[in-house]
Structure 1
């Protein structure tokens, strides 16, 4: 039996060497496959299922059209920054007749000085509401502040011209008194 040992490596050593070669070869093939996939993805040869469903690789985007904000969705406070008595009350009634959700009408609690027709004060949540009101009062200056609600303030200035009456207002009583 001495000739087996002198002829070369033992059987266990040959198996270990073969196993090591197979494992290293498998890891090398896997590493090459991962790099090839990453390169193909980077070059755009491979895409997501959404892009391939589009046909020619065109990206199809579905957007939901959000309904624009309506006046009844706009909560507004009307403040008078002038010396004209009752201006805020009359303007609040006119806004209410046009469908706006009027919360308060009073003198300006901040006692700000308004140059021009009006200021519309709003926070980040009320930017869309301010734009809706700005369509009605285009001469107003938009002023963003730090409030966290969607409620906006319309602060009337000396150049503010009152809204004309709506014809439907004459046929419908607008008072909430008990004379109905």
Structure 2
């Protein structure tokens, strides 16, 4: 047997020339299986991500979460009610065109006279001052209440600019344009001239009425039987 004869061939074959038989390595099946599994995992992750993006853009997540959360409250707003008066509010008169009656509805003494004197210095007309009638005496908790009839509504708004935190009450049965200023327990002093000027701008341009909003709780739908 020649030295060039591969072992195991029994000396039947000789290698001649420059070509030699090549022996292939055994295939590694484990590597092929790993590659296939990795490809399946990658494709699965890609498909899952695409599905999630589809739901996000479609808005399914929000609708599902809302459905799972149960009935939700719903707020509806109606337009503001139409004012009972027509046109714009009456323009505010100048202080010289407002006649006041200054009454003290607190236990403190001297408030009516001192306040009346200061209002006169600011240009208002004061017809009378003294203790408040029983309807208001020691019953006014805020700084002041200004009482007037329908004809004195603009005059009452003008006078209210002099007392911060005051309110205006319209008595439909009252005649004339005079205004009663009832000084309450919350009164400390008249507003400064600058604050009164700012309050006059607000009183002359009242804000528009706000819309009426109501919140309704959605009741759960009855179960089917």
- TM-score bracket for this pair, using the shorter chain length: 0.5 to 0.7
Task: Determine the structure 2 residue equivalent to 1:122.
Answer: 148
Q: CA deviation at 1:96?
A: 0.4
Contact 1:94–1:165 (CA<8 Å) still a contact in 2? no
Structure number with the higher helix fraction is: 1
List alignment gaps of at least 5 residues for structure 1: 1-65, 167-180
The corresponding residue for 1:170 is none
Report whether the alignment pairs 1:109 with 2:136: no
On the 8 A contact 1:72/1:101 being kept in 2, the answer is yes
Aligned match for 1:81, one of 102, 105, 119: 105
Counterpart-to-counterpart distance in 1, 2:146 and 2:91: 22
Q: Say whether residues 1:100 and 2:124 are aligned partners.
A: yes
Instruction: Structure 2: give runs of 5+ residues left out of the alignment.
Output: 1-89, 194-225
**DSSP 3-state at the match of 1:136:** coil
| Equivalent pair of 1:117/1:161 in contact (CA under 8 Å) | yes
| Superposition map of 1:9-158 within 5 A | 68-112=92-136, 113-145=139-171, 146-158=173-185
Whole-angstrom CA distance in 2 between matches of 1:67 and 1:152? 16
Distance change in 2, residues 1:165/1:130 (3 Å): closer
Runs of 4 or more, structure 1, over 6 Å off, are none
Aligned CA RMSD, in angstroms, stands at 2.0
Which of 188, 211, 217 is residue 161 of structure 1 equivalent to?
188
Question: Given the two structures, how large is their TM-score scaled by the length of structure 2?
Answer: 0.42
Matched pairs, number: 101
Aligned mates of 2:135, 2:151 — CA distance in 1:
23
